Amino acid sequence: MSSVSNLKQHTETELLEGLRAGDEGCARQLVEAHAGRMLAVARRFLDDEDAAQDAVQDAFASAFAAIDRFRGDSALGTWLHSILVNAALKRVRADRRRHEISLDDLMPVFDGNGCRLEPLQGRILPVDQLLERQEVRDGVRKAIACLPEGYRAVVLLRDIEGYNTDEAAAALSISVGALKVRLHRGRAALKRLLEPLLEEGMS
Amino acid sequence: MVRQRDSGTPAGQVVNIYRKLMRRVRWVLSRAPHMIRCSEFEDFILDYLDDDLPSAEQRKFDFHLRLCPECRIYLDAYQTSVALGRAVCDELDDAIPESVPEDLVAAVLAAREFGYEGG
Ligand SMILES: [Zn+2]
């Protein structure tokens, strides 16, 4: 039975039936189809490669255990993605930083009267124009990876995964106030790191 | 810490003198009713972008934004950075999945067989 399953690609409905019946070939197909993307997302949250792989393994374990409760009102991939995000969040460490960057150095600067000292001159290019540049896309990826995990997770949840403030706070088990502080600091740091890429005539 | 761009060139010096002067003007303005300082403006940004500012604060925020070029630039760059982050991550989601270490696949399948339920 399972050797036959190994040979043919199932539709999502067949795959689901097979998974519920405990078919090993279907399980393998599910893992092979989704693990790559899930690992890529896990790496976005977690600096440590082992932690990222562990998160993927946790996510699949949760998914196999919960497959009977999967309602099919979203695609399997979407369902797995949300399980993976939760698994990755459990491994996020608020204080772990890879490049030893200090977020304090990346915060906006004000003079003694509370007036902003803004290093940019104001010719910020439109987003779609910036995205045409490979150096900008690489720079953005690097800048996100530079953020300490605890801040990065908040930025990823709110700005990329589309969680609202309450959902993101609950997912990270922190207060709404703490979440807002981290989100603002994370975004401000990102802005600071991206400054050299945002203006015309700079590089 | 803050870069003063082109401060060596005459044009750069003029720009820096102008900006310094404008900071002074803003500081005087900041004592006017309804005028907040840049540092207070900073604290409102998150709620402003979430449409969560109470109307009185919203008015102060808008008023400051009109008068303060530095905060306008800052907010523009802040929002641009958020948009870039989103676009670049979405791009990754659409990309062809990278190859997965075979031992990870094997571990996942083995764990399933032994009924491991995640951690
Ligand atoms: Zn200002």
- Domain co-membership, A48 together with A88: yes
> Which of A94, A123, A150 corresponds to the end of one domain?
A94
Mean pLDDT rounded to a whole number for chain B: 83
pLDDT given for residue B86 in this prediction: 93
Question: Domains of chain B: which residue ranges?
Answer: 1-31, 35-113
> Which of A39, A59, A94 corresponds to the end of one domain?
A94
Min CA distance, A158 vs chain B (Å)? 10
One-letter amino acid of B90: D
> In the CATH scheme, what is the code of domain B35-113?
1.10.10
Rounded distance from Cα B23 to ligand 1 centre (Å) = 9
CATH number at A109 reads 1.10.10.10
A203 in a domain, yes or no? Answer: no
Interatomic CA distance for residues A22 and B112, integer angstroms: 10
Answer yes or no: is pLDDT of B2 > 50. Answer: no
Tell me if A141 and B39 make a contact (CB, 8 A cut-off).
no
pLDDT given for residue B3 in this prediction: 47
CATH number at A78 reads 1.10.1740.10
Rounded distance from Cα B40 to ligand 1 centre (Å) = 9
Min CA distance, B22 vs chain A (Å)? 10
- Domain co-membership, A89 together with A107: no
Interatomic CA distance for residues A6 and A23, integer angstroms: 10
Locate the chain B residue with the closest alpha carbon to A131. Answer: B84
Tell me which residue in A113, A122, A155 faces B85 most closely, judged by beta carbons.
A155
Rounded distance from Cα A83 to ligand 1 centre (Å) = 42
- Domain co-membership, A85 together with A110: no
User: Do the Cβ atoms of A91 and A51 come closer than 8 Å?
Assistant: yes
Read off the tokens for B67: 């008068």
Residues of B in contact with A137 (CB under 8 A): 88, 91
Q: Is B32 helix (H, G, I), strand (E, B) or coil?
A: coil
Range of the domain at A62: 4-94
> Which of A94, A120, A140 corresponds to the end of one domain?
A94
Higher-pLDDT residue of B12 and A47 is A47
Block residue for tokens 């019946």: A21
Q: pTM here?
A: 0.81
- Domain co-membership, A71 together with A128: no
A33 in a domain, yes or no? Answer: yes
Burial of B79 (0-12, 13-18, 19+ CB in 10 A): middle
- Domain co-membership, A155 together with A111: yes
Q: Residue B27: how many CA atoms within 13 Å on its side-chain side?
A: 14
The length of chain B in residues reads 119
pLDDT in tens, A12-44: 888 888 888 888 899 999 999 899 999 999 999
Q: How many domains does chain A contain in total?
A: 2
pLDDT given for residue A83 in this prediction: 95
Residues linked to residue B47 through DSSP beta bridges, in sequence order: none
Distance (Å) of CA B73 to CA A17, B70, B76: 55, 5, 5
